[in-house]
Copies of this chain bind each other. A is one copy, B any other.
Amino acid sequence: MTSDDGLIDALVAVVGPANVVIDADVRAAYETDWTRRFHGSARCVVRPADADEVAQVVRLCSPAAAPLVPQGGNTGLVGGGVPRGGEVVVSLRRLDDIAPVDAQHGEVVVGAGAVLSAVRTQARAAGWDVGIDMASRDTATIGGMVSTNAGGVHVLRYGPMRDQVLGVEAVLADGDVVGHIPGLRKDNTGYDLAGLLTGAEGTLAIVTRVHLALVPELPDRVVTLCAFDGFDDVLAVGAALRREIDSLTALEVFFADGLALVCEHTGLHLPFDRSHPAYLLVECGARAGRADLLVDELAGVLGACPQVRATAVATDAAGREHLWAYRDRHTEAINAVGVPHKLDVTLPFDQLVDFRRAVRAHVNAAAPHARVVWFGHVGDGNLHVNILGLPPDDFTVDDDILALVATMGGSISAEHGIGIAKRAALERAAGSTDLAAMTAIKRALDPQGILNPGVLVR
C-alpha cells in the first residue's frame, strides 16, 4: 500500500498496513449503515488492536484536526457511526477481548469491540447474563451499545445500557485515556464520567473497554399473550403488572392491524379465535425450577384484571418463541409492505393513549393514504411508530409527530439516539438551555470538534 497522505502513512506506522483500509471496495462495508439511509466516504478506515493504538491514532489525528468517526458493529439506526465524508473511521472491532467472567460477583471486563452475543455466551457459561438483549445481538458491539445507551426488550427489568456499566475506559480527543475500570458498585469520587460517556454517541471520547455488571441468568421463563379491547386497558394492566410482579422481564404492545399484517406475511394463525383491538405480551423470568411460581403469580394478577379478554400462556421454549413471533415479526411484516418511516418515541405513561389518537388524526388528515403500524416496549412508555405510504424523502409528517411528542413532554428518541438523523429535531425539541449545556460539555472535552463531528451536537 502506498499513499500520498502523510496522516495515512503515520496511521500505518501505528496499526500496520493491513489495518489501514484505503481501498474503496473494502471501505464500503464501513461507509454505509444498516438502514442504508446513511453513507459517506471515509478518508480511510483504521483498525487499532487495543486502547493504546486507539490513543496513538487520536494523537495523530488531533494536531491534524482530522475528524474521526468511531464505529462498532455498525448496527446504529440514526447515522451516528458512518462517515459523513472524509473522516477517518476508527473501527473498534479488533478490541474484542473478553476477560474471564467473575462468576462470584457477576461482572466482566470486555473490549469495546466484543459482540453482545459473544459476551452473553461467556456470561451464561458462568450462570450470569447480560441485562440488555436486542435483535442486533450478533453484530452489535459493547462499545457501540455503551455509546448509544442501548435499550431493547429488558429495560423495564434491568434499565438501559447505562445501568449495566460499572466502568468505562475511553480515549479523549487529545489522546489521553480516562477510566475507572475497577468498576465499583459504589464510587462517589467526582462527576460520573462513565455515565456521561454512555449515550454520548462517540462525540466526547472513544470507548475502548467496559466493565459490565451482569444479571443472574433466568432460565425459567413464562410468556403470556393477553388480548384487550383497547390501548387504555393494555396500559392499566401493564401498570398493575409492573406494580405487582418483580419477575417481569418484558411488556410489549401491538395492535390488531399489525398482528393481521404479521399473520398475512408469515402464515402464522391468529393467537385467539377472533381478533382483538390490542395485545400485551408479558414475559417473566426466574431462576431454574421456579416456572410454576411465575405462572401462579401472573395468573393471580391477570385474574384480578377484568380488562383481559383472552390469554395464551407458554412455559416451554417452542411455545414462548411462538408467542414472541407475533411481536418480533412486526418489523419484517411492515418492511414487506413498503419502506416505513420509523419513529422511536417515549411518552409519559398518562399521555400514551392521547398521543396515539392524535397521531392517527394527524396522519389521517395529512396523508390519508398512509397507514400507521404501532408496536413497542410499553413497559417503558416507548412506542415504535411505523408509517407506511409516505413519500420516502418527505419527513413533514415525521417532523409534525416529533413536535407533538415534544409538546406532550415525551422523548423524540427513546433508544436509538440522535446521530445525524434527529439532530435538527433535537434542536427543535430540547430546551435551549439543555442544548447549550451539552454544547459547552462537548467544547470542553473536544475543543477542536474532531470526535464524530455533526453527530448529536453542533
Could you tell me which A residues sit within 8 Å of B by CB distance? 102, 104-106, 127, 148-149, 151, 155-156, 159-160, 162-163, 172, 176-180, 182-193, 195-196, 198-200, 204, 216, 236, 239, 242-244, 246-247, 287, 346-350, 377, 380-382, 409-418, 422, 426, 429-431, 433-438, 440-441, 443-445, 456-457
Contact = CB atoms under 8 A, between A and B. Distances in A.
5 contacts: A104-B349, A176-B436, A178-B434, A189-B418, A216-B246
A343 to B, nearest CB: 13
A247 B245 CA distance: 12
Contacts of A436: 176
Given A190-B438, A444-B443, A196 B199 contact: no
A408 to B, nearest CB: 9
Contact of A414 (B156, B186, B200, B242): B186
Given A105-B242, A106-B243, A239-B105, A196 B188 contact: no
B433 A184 contact: no
Interface of chain A: mostly helix, strand, loop or mixed: loop
Contacts of A429: 189
A242 B191 CA distance: 28
Given A178-B437, A190-B456, A437-B445, 8 more contacts: A172-B437, A176-B436, A184-B346, A184-B411, A186-B346, A191-B437, A216-B246, A440-B444
- Counting chain B CB atoms within 10 Å of each CB, which of A191, A195, A198 scores highest? A191
Contacts of A160: 186, 188
A415 B191 CA distance: 13
Given A106-B243, A242-B105, A444-B440, A199 B188 contact: yes
B184 A434 contact: no
Contacts of A433: 172, 176-178
Given A190-B418, A196-B191, A445 B434 contact: no
B349 A155 contact: no
Given A216-B246, A434-B179, A416 B188 contact: yes
A178 B188 CA distance: 23
Given A178-B437, A438-B191, A184 B381 contact: yes
A409 B189 CA distance: 13
A159 B131 CA distance: 15
Contacts of A187: 346, 411, 413-414
- Counting chain B CB atoms within 10 Å of each CB, which of A127, A190, A382 scores highest? A190
Contact of A434 (B106, B156, B193, B412): B193
A197 to B, nearest CB: 9
A344 to B, nearest CB: 9
Given A148-B188, A414-B186, A178 B244 contact: no
B193 A438 contact: yes
A410 B445 CA distance: 26
A430 B381 contact: no
A173 B344 CA distance: 33
A305 to B, nearest CB: 13
B415 A188 contact: yes
A111 to B, nearest CB: 19
B180 A349 contact: no
A99 to B, nearest CB: 13
A180 to B, nearest CB: 7
